[in-house]
Structure 1
């Protein structure tokens, strides 16, 4: 790695945390949505995580956002958390968590295409375009609408939901770089709270008996919920935040193709999700495409 940022043992500890924690949240959401509707789960998850992070930000950063920064953080949080993350929770309720993680792994493609089309106008390089093409070929093999391998196992409509969420996540992330935002921890806390409010509004409109289902969760469901809040949101964010400031960017970006592998393995080992030869081949093609996109990214 050629970078002015040193690679230390601490770097690999935080990197391993991001690999495992973010890769495991897909299974955590699947377990929690067994009894709790997806939008309500996202609301109570990020409301608690946002409050905890807001307290941490207040103690560490000791600054208040102005009106413009607050408005920007709320808008971005709605895109990232309210839509982007919640659509993943919707999808894992109907689909294997590992396959949803592979759909999310295609996120770099949406970043680059949308950045090229609407923001920087920087055309992706040849290696990046090759990676995008390879990744989408893998996804087509995985979710082939003309085949019948998934007809009885899960519906394909959640794929469109995740793609829409990915696009919203990419737009929100690109806007963060161009908006005036609050300080880092406070900004993330506001985004979580804004996403939680949006998810709650949708839940009140489209879901039923949310509170009773939430309070009636099994011990397994409560463990998954607390894991998502304390480990997935807080520890995972803290680890990634440290890497973003202290690790070589190309090393940090490897989470994009390690997370789906972790999610697939955990879904198979713990969630009893099957990995057929076609799924394994298509998954390898998708991850290979993401690797090419990452290597070709300027």
Structure 2
């Protein structure tokens, strides 16, 4: 019964990176060009404020700074670096560089959470990187230093945020919608001053731009991050990290369906390797069970 519940939770959590796999095509086809800060703020802040409006509970005590830290790592810094890499690199190269995230997660989970590093985890890391390379990397792909550093930084930021989220745990009495709202709001507010100082607001927003932003807010943030933070309560850290590999599979599929890109036998092999690595990690247990919410803020939720 417990294994079946974990399998169901894992499947639900995988919906988030499946949705996020569309970020590259939405960014390049629908959003204003060269505006990573605008894209990051619009994706985070409106969704966070909507969730806060419905939850009507603000962080208390140490959760003020914890929400700020988690919002910066999981949302603010990650969104900004994600969009920088999307603007500076082909989606395939960005995905390949970002495949270092499971390695970072494996190390941090062992150091911070006490998860045991098992041989299947290590093998899956190598297999996943090879799978991503076969799936998305093309001979004509161009490397850009800014984009590569942004992709690495985004992977480290997300891995650190997930591990700290599991370490601190969601306070009891604060549901996952409100917890998601705290982080989306904090991440958006962190980036807001930089948006005005560095980029400024565009002179016009087209209907296509509005459609792209709406998609990222509703599906990418409201739906995606609610599902994702629900999963941080229930799925082991390394398992969460490998679910992220659903994104390049979806990104490649969307490129095939909508951008006229081809799928070679090597790309199909890469997708199969990725799926195998994801399954292998989910079936390999860790020493630390998924954490449950803390008793903090129990009384605040009753107000």
Give the structure-1-normalised TM-score.
0.76
Structure 1 counterpart of 2:183 = 191
SS in structure 2 at match of 1:155: coil
- What does 1:273-288 correspond to in 2, within 5 Å? 273=261, 275=263, 279-282=267-270, 284-288=272-276
CA 1:180–1:296: 2 relative to 1, 3 Å: closer
Structure 2 residue runs without a partner (length 5+): 287-303
Structure 1 counterpart of 2:124 = 131
Q: 2:193 aligns with which of 190, 201, 205?
A: 201
For 2:266 and 2:10, locate their aligned partners in 1 and report how far apart those are by CA, in whole Å: 35
Deviations 1:148-192, CA, capped at 9 Å, x for gaps: 933xx4334323311211111111111122236552332321211
Structure 1 residue runs without a partner (length 5+): none
Q: 1:86 aligns with which of 80, 83, 86?
A: 80
Offset of residue 50 of structure 1: 0.7
CA 1:222–1:36: 2 relative to 1, 3 Å: farther
Structure ranking higher on relative contact order (CA contacts 8 Å, 6+ apart): 1
Structure 1 counterpart of 2:168 = 179
Contact 1:97 1:267 in 2 (8 A): no
Structure 2 counterpart of 1:168 = 157
1:225 and 2:213 matched: yes
1:119 and 2:118 matched: no
**Cα-Cα RMSD:** 3.8
Deviations 1:5-39, CA, capped at 9 Å, x for gaps: 3988x997x57854642332332233344435011
More displaced, 86-95 or 29-38? 29-38
Contact 1:11 1:243 in 2 (8 A): yes
More displaced, 105-114 or 37-46? 105-114
Q: 2:251 aligns with which of 263, 277, 288?
A: 263
For 1:200 and 1:274, locate their aligned partners in 2 and report how far apart those are by CA, in whole Å: 39
Deviations 1:90-147, CA, capped at 9 Å, x for gaps: 112233335534554553332112222x313444111111111222344566798xxx
Give the structure-2-normalised TM-score.
0.75
CA 1:166–1:265: 2 relative to 1, 3 Å: same
